[in-house]
Structure 1
Amino acid sequence: MFKKFKLPRYAQWILKFFVGLFLLGCLFYLSIYIGLWGSIPENDDLKHLKQSEATEVFASRGELIGKYYIFDRQPVLFEEIPEHLTNALIATEDIRYYDHSGIDSRSLLRVFFKTILMGDKSSGGGSTITLQLAKNLFGRNDYGYVSIVVNKVRESIIARRLEDIYTKKEILTLYLNTVPFSDNTYGIESAARKFFNTTTAELSLTEAATLVGTLKASHYYNPRLFPERSKLRRNVVLHQMKKYGFLSSEELAAVKEDPVELHYQFFNHNTGTAAYFRSQLQKDVKAILDTLEKDNGETYNLYHDGLQIHTTLDYKMQKMAEEAMAEHMTGLQEQFERSYGKNAPWLKEQLIKEAIPKTTQYKNLAAAGWSEAEILDSLNRKKDMELFGWGKKQLVQASIIDSLQHYMKFLNMGMLNMDPGSGAVKSWVGGINHEYFKYDHVSQSKRQVGSTFKPIVYTSAVEAGIDPCTYYSVREVTYNEGWTPSNSSADEDPHMNYSMQAALSRSINTIAVKVLFDVGLENVITQAKKMGITSNLPKYPSLALGTAEMTIEELGTAYSGFVNRGAPVKPYYITRITDKYGKTIVEFEPEKSTRQAFSSTTASIMLEMMKSTVNEGTAARLRYKYQLPNDIAGKTGTTQDNKDGWFVGITPNLVSVTWVGADDHRIGFRSTGLGQGANSALPVFALLMQKMNNDSDFNEITQAKFPAPSSTVQMMLDCEPSERDNFLERLFTDGDKPKKRKDSKGEKEEKKGLFSKIKGIFNKN
């Protein structure tokens, strides 16, 4: 009855082709599904998503000062994400987000007909937020010509699984925590902190729209590099929000003309606040983490585990210390170079020749078997190079040897500020610029400490029972070793005698050595060790003048005892480390000394003696030049040939140690006037104190007062600072014998008579 319908031959071939194509597509899909093109995460894997998270470093008041990361990422909870941020994201990236289950079929059809067939690029793409999340989480692989197809299929499978496991809110949260923003930043929290110095929860409407706008092309719409382009894209996001009912016309009009205002915080390892501190902290924390294990037995990873490191650093003081350093060192560098003119040591050929073999480039080429001539030829080749300069970077044509000569001329510095009661480090300036000068002068550098060692000598003397009002002659003496120490000032009257207090405040070398001989060299070394000095101390009388090399941290420890009733404390700067959930995994307490290094009476005496250094001695410019009214004690220090300048400032709640000098030990200041610690190092402390005096946040430090010395200490220091030899003493005295204080009648105790002195002359002969 009915004829059997039979397709034409060509139609059969077409049908077979499409069926075959369909079957081939199914097989292709199946091959991807079962993992022939690479494994696809199963549901169990997706339930326990692990993403690399940056470790954060916090100052004492919770300010974020740095990060350690491979990818800069910190997670946030959905409750921390403002509604206008999710609205901006959905309006721009996936308006049907709540209506699909990972793959938006309607959008795909729109893409096929409008974008592919009709060429309408404005119709948008078919990628959903869930598909983008799959890409963010697992990336894309290279499969040659079929890469885009394979990757899209893999992402669609993962997206379906994600939708089965997580709620829409959870997917939004995962997306915002993993999506890449501009400047190698991953996750909304890191982006909020980097570009606007705020948290995700506090992002304004325009800030949120700006960040969402960058997702289309993170470099092209980078708000730091292209602010105008970023503003245009931000306004597209705002218009999308208005189009889909998330904003009213009035709300749009109120914000669309606002400029893109950034508060950029770039947590680069070499730049930003406390770069030297963060570099040292990184080494310390890695060593600490090597000793710890997670509950599952795995070790912690500094760069992946999203840890939080809490430190003692005072963020505001750190900023002020860095500003004070830059203000002073800029001018000092200019004076330093001008003082030498064309005769600068870094211009001398021999100095450069001696420095070349010490460079990393020379050592690497020599290790590779290059000849001396080949190495020098390579190091002399000029290329575009960025060189450090105060106030600006210089882009020049220069060789490795040119750069070596350029950097040899720079003065460097180190400064540590710590709480003398606990040892908590408040600020740490390891050098003038971490990007160009990696060497940390707080933790790594050992330099001769000059006259800052003298308080240790005098502490030994007071502990040994020598009366602080014992008078010593300023006269030079030649010792058995043929060594004749002299004073930095040629104006000292050889017939003057000074009490130990006056001698310390004036930093008189000849008297410091005489005191050391009275106490005994071994006793001074023992006392220094008690005070926290761990470096090897030379067993020579020149130790009294600071020929020992020490770190800034050691001096900080030693001087802390003067404020802490004779008990020194070691600097510390990590209070605790927590995991990404806030659980404390290790905690640190101040490492207080179990016993005193010297008596509280000696501490009080030494403090009064070092107050004189500030009030009328070598550090007096703190008063007359910088007009600092604070309670301050301290000691300046200058080494031979003006190679090192030091200043240690002591206030009731802060000990500050500053060093200034050239990294190359062969280069010193041309004159003592320029290189002395009072001129090279002290001003950094002075400028810092001025800044702190103008900020009420530091009242606890700046307005603190030293406790009044006891009546006993006042009596022990109650003497004239100096006296001059009388005629007979000038005629017959050796000048190297200490004289005790005058008694109540004004007579010197144990004062020798004329005939005794004459007899002494014959005895010597």
Structure 2
Amino acid sequence: MAKAKQKKQRSFFPYIKWFWILFGSGILLVLLVFLLASWGVFGEMPTFERLENPQTNLATEFISSDGETLGKLYLDDNRTPVAYEELPKNLVNALIATEDARYYDHAGIDARGTIRAFAYLGKKGGASTISQQLARQLFVGIRAKDWTKYTQKIKEWVIATRLERNYTKEEIVAMYLNIYDFGYAADGIRSAARIYFGKEPAELRVEESAVLVGMLKNSSLYNPIRREELVLNRRNTVLGQMAKYEYITEQEKDSLQALRMNINFNPESHREGLATYFRMYLQRFLKNWVNENPKPDGEKYNIYLDGLKVFTTVDSRMQKNAEDAVQAHMKNLQTEFFHQNTPDRNRTAPFLDLTRGAIDTIMNSAMKRSDRWRSMARAGKSEKEIKDSFEEKTEMTVFDWNSDSFEKDTIMTPRDSIRYYKTFLRTAMMSMEPQTGHVKAWVGGVDYKHFQYDNVIQGARQAGSTFKPFVYAAAIDQLRYSPCDSLPDNQYCIEPLKHGNMEAWCPKNSDGKYSGKNLTLKHALANSVNTVTAQLIDKVGPRSVVSIATDMGLDREIPEVPSIALGTHDFSVYEMVGAYGTFANQGVYVKPVMVTRIEDKNGTVLYEYVPKTKDVLSKDVAYAMVNLMEGVTQYGSGGRLRHSFAKNQTVYKEIITGYPYELTNPIAGKTGTTQNQSDGWFMGMVPNLVTGVWVGGDDRAIHFNRLAYGQGASMALPIWALYMKKNYENEELGVSQEAFEKPENMSINVDCTKVLKELQDDLDTEDDLEDVGF
């Protein structure tokens, strides 16, 4: 019996031995496979250095002075990483409940999940942990479909365990959410939260987090813009998982699943969003900056991939106010412009006073500047072939004020589309804090997607009467004139060769009339009396005016001729705002600044702006000029900021939004209108904000045919008024409503009460009183 039992035990021994041999061999085989994978036999594996510093493309971020993201600069990846501490707890809970319930219990590989996946051949779910998914995103790539999917899985396992050794669980979660592509340029959780819900990740509600976590399964399939019902069901599945693992209660789950999906879609592209023209300026600024400021190793920073943070001076709230003001007024103004330029009213619309030959010259020039012409020329097409292509009708999307999206689909020839776009009036607006030079708002046009020329800094147009303050400043500075001094409003001629001109220059007033009265400088500037301005530039000389204007930032070449007094030279809004800031800043010019600091992705400061200033005028002269320009808004061409007028009021209401404005705080400013109403300007100042606005056509022949519509007070001033009213509605912006600071021991008389009384006594009627600006 004992022998039989011993024999039976010996008969089982080989099986036991082979079991352990096979088991050990299996363990060794698994270890060997892992070793082979780690050695790169199944494909390249990341080095230790890459694991420590995984490379992802990071977008450059433009940050406003109030801490908001204005936009980003990227090629393919619109990614801005956030730290784990910036993620809401509900988002992390939703992720773990849905993607890896045992996340905190494994070291990169979920053994239970892996065995289940093998046992059921993946029919009851895969076994990819969050760490494995991150490994695939960072180092492995798109999931393979042939036999290599098995070696790919092994590589994922190896990399996942390495990630677990190198990073904390929290860091892995943050990396995973930062790397994932949620579609529509929503690369990473921060972009996804902003694009789909218009908020930062920390502000996400539970049901919003559930939507984004649901997209992790397949962001193309579960896309809330294209498949709302499918995504809603997926969101509710995520909420169910959260309840299953007790992150939320069953009651909370039921309440949340009953909610609608409130998607707030905010696409982030280079041509859409807030401050588009300003962001394109920043792109040009950065391109120049990286060329002059290489990395320590000599390489250039990549402004699309290196995750730079650019801190700007623009205030997002003021920028929004500026864009709203531009849109409100320009849409209304354009409606009237279209009405006046219909074919039955103007057969050469939108051009006025041009022959067909002159119009053809303009159109041919525009064609040759177009992308179509340049691309076809590069392709070797002949000029005839290129011109013929402009006559072929094609489908296109064009700008349209009357559409909610400001676009419409149509069919027209490329040549007709050029003429169509020329019918739209253009605009530019810039707002700056004069004491610091910080630019607070920048609007380069009506719509960057369709009008990419930035009229703030790229465009330059005749300044008209907005140049006159520089003439007055020279006279007050050098001749010690006072705003209360007076000159006669009579025809005035500057003799030939006196200032280098070849013939006598005898400027007329805008209405062609001369009152014959003595006018104070304050009233002459308020009403843009050309004869008084001519006398002043004759007394101080064009060279003195050019010198002061140049010192105030108008540093382009200005001809030293008397006619510059009336604003015949071209300047940009950027230059004019900087120059006017000198008046508001007590005579000190501060160069406009748009970027205060640049940091790399680790927060290291790479650039800090150093203010550039220049003393140009004494405090007395600067204050006297402010006092002069306050007259413009008290009883001059800018008076409609405060009052409503009987004259032309009906005409004015046709094109103005929000009129009358009834602003009561101290305001200094100057309107400007060039010949034929081609350019309308308004420069407006309060103690801590200087803003310039220009409106005009793409060509000087595109303009209103009546001064009532085409003057600066009608075209440009309303934008300033709407913008300032919106600013004053938000007290947090701190825009001044106080008086300009008057210097102590003011040496220039600005109290014109006595002079005005004497002038008033000389006037015969109320009509005379209106003529001189009372």
TM normalised by structure 1 equals: 0.85
How many angstroms does 1:200 deviate by?
2.9
User: In the alignment, is residue 690 of structure 1 matched against residue 725 of structure 2?
Assistant: yes
Name the residue aligned to 2:669. 634
How many angstroms does 1:396 deviate by?
0.8
Aligned-partner residue type, residue 370 of structure 1:
K
Name the residue aligned to 1:757. none
Q: Report Cα offsets for 1:76-104 as digits up to 9, x if no partner.
A: 33333333322211221122333443333
Question: Which moves more between the two structures, 420-429 or 478-487?
Answer: 478-487
Aligned-partner residue type, residue 565 of structure 1:
Q
Name the residue aligned to 1:313. 314
CA contact (8 A) 2:52 2:166 kept: yes
CA distance change for structure 1 residues 44 and 470 in 2, over 3 Å: closer, same or farther?
A: closer
Q: Report Cα offsets for 1:1-39 as digits up to 9, x if no partner.
A: x9xxxxxxxxxxxxxxxxxx9999999988755435541
Name the residue aligned to 1:521. 542
CA contact (8 A) 2:68 2:316 kept: yes
Q: Report Cα offsets for 1:635-661 as digits up to 9, x if no partner.
A: 001111211111100111111111111
| Cα distance in 2, alignment partners of residues 356 and 39 from structure 1 | 52
Matching of residues 734-753 of structure 1 within 5 Å: none
CA contact (8 A) 1:340 1:670 kept: no
CA contact (8 A) 2:526 2:628 kept: yes
The counterpart of 1:60, out of the listed 53, 59, 65, is 65
CA distance change for structure 1 residues 574 and 353 in 2, over 3 Å: closer, same or farther?
A: closer
User: In the alignment, is residue 283 of structure 1 matched against residue 294 of structure 2?
Assistant: no
CA distance change for structure 1 residues 706 and 24 in 2, over 3 Å: closer, same or farther?
A: closer
Name the residue aligned to 2:445. 431
DSSP-derived class of the 2:453 partner: coil
How many angstroms does 1:367 deviate by?
4.2
CA distance change for structure 1 residues 44 and 415 in 2, over 3 Å: closer, same or farther?
A: closer
Paired residues in the alignment total: 700
CA distance change for structure 1 residues 247 and 607 in 2, over 3 Å: closer, same or farther?
A: closer
CA distance change for structure 1 residues 97 and 701 in 2, over 3 Å: closer, same or farther?
A: closer
User: In the alignment, is residue 129 of structure 1 matched against residue 130 of structure 2?
Assistant: yes
How many angstroms does 1:482 deviate by?
4.6
DSSP-derived class of the 1:385 partner: strand
| Cα distance in 1, alignment partners of residues 335 and 98 from structure 2 | 55
The counterpart of 1:552, out of the listed 558, 565, 573, is 573
Q: Report Cα offsets for 1:76-134 as digits up to 9, x if no partner.
A: 33333333322211221122333443333443443344356xxx4xx222322122111
- Aligned residues: CA RMSD: 3.0
CA contact (8 A) 1:497 1:724 kept: no
DSSP-derived class of the 1:516 partner: helix
Aligned-partner residue type, residue 47 of structure 1:
E
| Cα distance in 1, alignment partners of residues 153 and 493 from structure 2 | 89
Matching of residues 214-293 of structure 1 within 5 Å: 214-293=215-294
CA distance change for structure 1 residues 397 and 31 in 2, over 3 Å: closer, same or farther?
A: farther
Task: Give structure 2 stretches of 5+ with no counterpart.
Answer: 1-6, 8-25, 497-502, 644-659, 763-774
Aligned-partner residue type, residue 672 of structure 2:
G
How many angstroms does 1:706 deviate by?
1.6
How many angstroms does 1:403 deviate by?
1.5
CA distance change for structure 1 residues 722 and 529 in 2, over 3 Å: closer, same or farther?
A: farther
The counterpart of 1:488, out of the listed 504, 510, 513, is 510
| Cα distance in 2, alignment partners of residues 353 and 299 from structure 1 | 40
Name the residue aligned to 1:473. 489
| Cα distance in 1, alignment partners of residues 278 and 209 from structure 2 | 33
The counterpart of 1:498, out of the listed 513, 516, 519, is 519
The counterpart of 1:612, out of the listed 619, 627, 631, is 631
Q: Report Cα offsets for 1:661-699 as digits up to 9, x if no partner.
A: 11223322222221111111111001111212222223x
DSSP-derived class of the 1:645 partner: strand
How many angstroms does 1:715 deviate by?
5.9
How many angstroms does 1:145 deviate by?
4.5
| Cα distance in 2, alignment partners of residues 96 and 24 from structure 1 | 27
CA distance change for structure 1 residues 587 and 689 in 2, over 3 Å: closer, same or farther?
A: same
How many angstroms does 1:40 deviate by?
0.9
Name the residue aligned to 2:457. 443
DSSP-derived class of the 2:481 partner: coil
Name the residue aligned to 1:580. 601
How many angstroms does 1:630 deviate by?
1.5
Q: Report Cα offsets for 1:502-537 as digits up to 9, x if no partner.
A: 211110122212221111111211121122211111
How many angstroms does 1:228 deviate by?
3.4
CA contact (8 A) 2:681 2:692 kept: yes
CA distance change for structure 1 residues 397 and 722 in 2, over 3 Å: closer, same or farther?
A: farther
DSSP-derived class of the 1:333 partner: helix
User: In the alignment, is residue 49 of structure 1 matched against residue 54 of structure 2?
Assistant: yes
User: In the alignment, is residue 40 of structure 1 matched against residue 45 of structure 2?
Assistant: yes
Matching of residues 389-404 of structure 1 within 5 Å: 389-392=400-403, 393-404=407-418
How many angstroms does 1:147 deviate by?
4.6
| Cα distance in 1, alignment partners of residues 110 and 30 from structure 2 | 20
DSSP-derived class of the 1:217 partner: coil
CA distance change for structure 1 residues 559 and 167 in 2, over 3 Å: closer, same or farther?
A: closer
TM normalised by structure 2 equals: 0.84
The counterpart of 1:78, out of the listed 80, 84, 87, is 84
CA contact (8 A) 1:689 1:702 kept: no
Question: Which moves more between the two structures, 247-256 or 24-33?
Answer: 24-33
Name the residue aligned to 1:384. 395
Matching of residues 73-152 of structure 1 within 5 Å: 73-115=79-121, 120=123, 123-140=124-141, 145-152=146-153
Name the residue aligned to 2:656. none
Q: Report Cα offsets for 1:113-171 as digits up to 9, x if no partner.
A: 4356xxx4xx2223221221111102426988445344333323322322333343332
Aligned-partner residue type, residue 385 of structure 1:
M
| Cα distance in 2, alignment partners of residues 641 and 722 from structure 1 | 36
| Cα distance in 1, alignment partners of residues 758 and 371 from structure 2 | 54
How many angstroms does 1:450 deviate by?
0.6
CA distance change for structure 1 residues 110 and 530 in 2, over 3 Å: closer, same or farther?
A: same
User: In the alignment, is residue 408 of structure 1 matched against residue 419 of structure 2?
Assistant: no
| Cα distance in 2, alignment partners of residues 552 and 103 from structure 1 | 61
Aligned-partner residue type, residue 458 of structure 2:
Q
Question: Which moves more between the two structures, 543-552 or 338-347?
Answer: 338-347
Q: Report Cα offsets for 1:391-431 as digits up to 9, x if no partner.
A: 42111112321221111111111111111111111111111
Aligned-partner residue type, residue 707 of structure 1:
E
CA distance change for structure 1 residues 43 and 183 in 2, over 3 Å: closer, same or farther?
A: same
DSSP-derived class of the 2:525 partner: helix
CA contact (8 A) 1:467 1:716 kept: no
DSSP-derived class of the 2:442 partner: strand
| Cα distance in 1, alignment partners of residues 374 and 254 from structure 2 | 64
| Cα distance in 1, alignment partners of residues 378 and 200 from structure 2 | 50
| Cα distance in 1, alignment partners of residues 627 and 152 from structure 2 | 76
Aligned-partner residue type, residue 208 of structure 1:
S
Aligned-partner residue type, residue 719 of structure 1:
V
DSSP-derived class of the 1:125 partner: coil
DSSP-derived class of the 1:441 partner: coil
CA contact (8 A) 2:486 2:518 kept: no
Aligned-partner residue type, residue 214 of structure 1:
M
Name the residue aligned to 1:599. 618
Aligned-partner residue type, residue 349 of structure 2:
P
Name the residue aligned to 1:678. 713
Aligned-partner residue type, residue 362 of structure 1:
W
Task: Give structure 1 stretches of 5+ with no counterpart.
Answer: 3-20, 727-765
CA contact (8 A) 1:430 1:442 kept: yes
| Cα distance in 2, alignment partners of residues 370 and 52 from structure 1 | 38
CA contact (8 A) 2:341 2:350 kept: no
CA distance change for structure 1 residues 358 and 183 in 2, over 3 Å: closer, same or farther?
A: closer
How many angstroms does 1:386 deviate by?
0.8
| Cα distance in 2, alignment partners of residues 576 and 541 from structure 1 | 43
CA contact (8 A) 1:653 1:704 kept: no
| Cα distance in 1, alignment partners of residues 480 and 326 from structure 2 | 39
Name the residue aligned to 2:582. 561
Name the residue aligned to 2:349. 345
Name the residue aligned to 2:770. none
